């Protein structure tokens, strides 16, 4: 029996486990653990892979063309490819009801960060003010995570929005469109700063030099399908490295649904269902660590209470960053050459200063490079042949700014348990925006469009979109950390009040949600908790 029983192999679970193993402890990690398909032709770049004829396009579009982004009012400018289908696969035993909240969940080996784009941004001291520990307590753990995964970054104007992690790698060479945007920013820097706008290079978990068994980015243009060199970090890479540690064991194929509670009210293990069928099994451990992601962790906690006779508990404070997408065109780039074999994701990031630090807006800019034909083709008022010709001319000037707003815990935005028509338990999510949320989103979009206009870009208002809550995949707040000894909360060390031996190390413990990509801070906080547990 391992001393630490970790539920979930996502970003928080693997980094908590690695830190405990470095401390000389034993760790058993339980997981559903859906695995990805084999990588096809890892040596080929995007164009060469298309020419190689991968089973009639199955690799790019799916066996039934399920990865095609069809024209629709709510269509995104991109979709998840077939190689990422395992990331969003759900076990049949997991049931969900959504009310005003449209989440993505993952039961994959490595969790949701298997499909992230690597944005890695430290929180500023003031953004940690609501957390029950000194802001400086997280700094060394950001550095630890950076040394493990590799983060490409450089000193620039973004430091006023996110401190620069020590030991960062050199950034990748900027693609021509991103370099053009940076040049325009430098020539208009004073005017943009007067509007509270800063632009710089993304801080991203991608390698510009080899690190361990992972190869540096050689700009194959296959990022969306999964880097065949391992240059873009994914938690499954850490999990694979842990497999050789004598103090570590991994048990995939199990869906944990509740914590086992001893006679004294302490956590002594978990109950899980094999996803291939069969009855409930029990796995014991001295300490139980919930790292399944904020939503799955909340369900496990609620199922545990219900099994102990406390049905009907509701966890207020569900959060997710409001996300908006602002497509744009740089007219002076129209007709320029484009390199399809290049790094595919965002190379630029921006910050919009708010009235207070709580209302700052953060975003990332992705210039269109090696993605498959953009759905914008379908919206052009021409026949297909003409539309494709126009698209090819526009392509070098196309991009999308994704921006995020902060969120805070509010009563009524909650998770709870419900039952289906045959009495099977399901997780129910309730979320309702206030009027000021929508107004804040509208203002952020208009400020982003104005900043892009200052750079010489066109961002059509009709094409901008405020995405539904849940779209940003930054879920948090249901078992918040805090100093007050209140029910359904956690302490600074992640321990759950009212149940000894149970810890939460994922986003469920976050007391508020700054407008930044969350994964880097989740990993750093999991490492911090692992260093404080005795």
DSSP 39-67: PS-TT--HHHHHHT--GGGHHHH-TTSTT
d(CA 115, CA 287): 30
User: How crowded is the C-beta side of 346, counted as CA atoms within 13 Å?
Assistant: 25
Per-residue confidence (pLDDT) for residue 377, from 0 to 100: 59
Q: Which regions in the chain score pLDDT beneath 70? A: 53-57, 63-79, 370-382, 384
Angle at 411 between CA 406 and CA 416, to 5 degrees: 105
The structure tokens listed for 123 are 């929180």
Helices (H) and strands (E) in the chain, counts: 12, 20
pTM for the predicted model, two decimal places = 0.94
d(CA 467, CA 465): 6
Per-residue confidence (pLDDT) for residue 380, from 0 to 100: 63
Per-residue confidence (pLDDT) for residue 28, from 0 to 100: 98
If one counts every other C-beta atom within 10 angstroms of the C-beta of residue 43, the result is 10
- Helix-strand-coil split of the chain, %, nearest 5: 30, 20, 50
The structure tokens listed for 359 are 């209302």
CATH 3.60.40.10 fits 1-34+89-116+234-319+409-433+470-534, yes or no: no
Per-residue confidence (pLDDT) for residue 73, from 0 to 100: 59
Per-residue confidence (pLDDT) for residue 55, from 0 to 100: 62
The closest of 83, 79, 85 to 372, measured between CA atoms, is 79
């Amino acid at each position: 029996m391992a001393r630490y029983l970790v539920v979930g192999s996502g970003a928080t679970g693997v980094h908590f486990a690695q830190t405990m193993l470095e401390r000389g402890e034993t760790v058993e990690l339980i997981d559903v653990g859906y695995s990805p398909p084999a990588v096809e032709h890892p040596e080929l770049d995007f164009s060469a892979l298309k020419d190689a004829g991968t089973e009639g396009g199955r690799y790019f579009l799916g066996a039934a063309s399920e990865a095609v982004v069809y024209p629709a009012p709510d269509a995104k400018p991109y979709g998840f490819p077939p190689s990422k289908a395992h990331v969003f696969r759900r076990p049949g035993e997991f049931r969900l009801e959504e009310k005003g909240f449209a989440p993505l969940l993952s039961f994959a080996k490595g969790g949701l960060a298997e499909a992230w784009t690597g944005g890695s941004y430290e929180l500023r001291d003031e953004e940690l003010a609501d957390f029950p520990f000194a802001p400086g307590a997280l700094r060394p753990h950001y550095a630890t995570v950076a040394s493990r995964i590799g983060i490409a970054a450089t000193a620039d104007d973004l430091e006023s929005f996110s401190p620069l992690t020590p030991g960062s790698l050199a950034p990748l060479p900027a693609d021509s469109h991103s370099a053009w945007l940076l040049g325009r920013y430098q020539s208009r820097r004073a005017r943009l700063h007067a509007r509270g706008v800063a632009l710089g290079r993304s801080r991203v978990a991608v390698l510009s030099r080899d690190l361990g068994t992972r190869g540096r980015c050689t700009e194959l243009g296959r990022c969306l399908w999964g880097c065949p060199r391992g240059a873009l970090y994914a938690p499954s890479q850490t999990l694979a490295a842990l497999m050789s540690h004598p103090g570590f064991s991994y048990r995939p194929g199990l869906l944990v649904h509740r914590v086992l509670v001893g006679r004294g009210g302490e956590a002594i293990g978990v109950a899980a269902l094999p996803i291939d069928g069969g009855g409930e099994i029990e796995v014991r451990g001295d300490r139980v660590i919930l790292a399944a992601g904020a939503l799955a962790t909340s369900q496990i906690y609620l199922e545990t209470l219900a099994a102990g006779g406390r049905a009907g508990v509701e966890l207020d404070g569900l959060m997710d960053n409001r996300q908006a997408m602002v497509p744009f065109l740089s007219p002076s780039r129209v007709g320029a050459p484009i390199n399809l074999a290049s790094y595919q994701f965002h190379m630029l990031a921006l910050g919009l200063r708010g009235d207070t630090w709580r209302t700052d807006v953060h975003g990332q800019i992705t210039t269109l490079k090696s993605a498959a034909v953009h759905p914008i083709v379908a919206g052009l008022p021409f026949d297909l042949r003409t539309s494709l010709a126009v698209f090819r001319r526009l392509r070098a000037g196309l991009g999308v700014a994704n921006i995020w707003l902060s969120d805070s815990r509010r009563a009524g935005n909650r998770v709870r348990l419900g039952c289906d028509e045959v009495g099977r338990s399901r997780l129910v999510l309730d979320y309702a925006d206030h009027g000021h949320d929508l107004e804040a989103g509208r203002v952020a979009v208009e400020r982003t469009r104005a900043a892009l206009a200052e750079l010489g870009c066109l961002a059509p208002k009709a094409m901008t979109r405020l995405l539904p809550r849940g779209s940003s995949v930054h879920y948090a707040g249901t078992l918040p950390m805090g100093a007050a000894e209140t029910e359904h909360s956690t302490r600074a060390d992640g321990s759950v009040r009212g149940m000894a031996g149970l810890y939460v190390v994922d986003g469920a413990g976050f007391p508020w949600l700054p407008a930044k990509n969350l994964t880097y801070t989740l990993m750093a906080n999991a490492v911090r908790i692992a260093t404080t547990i005795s």
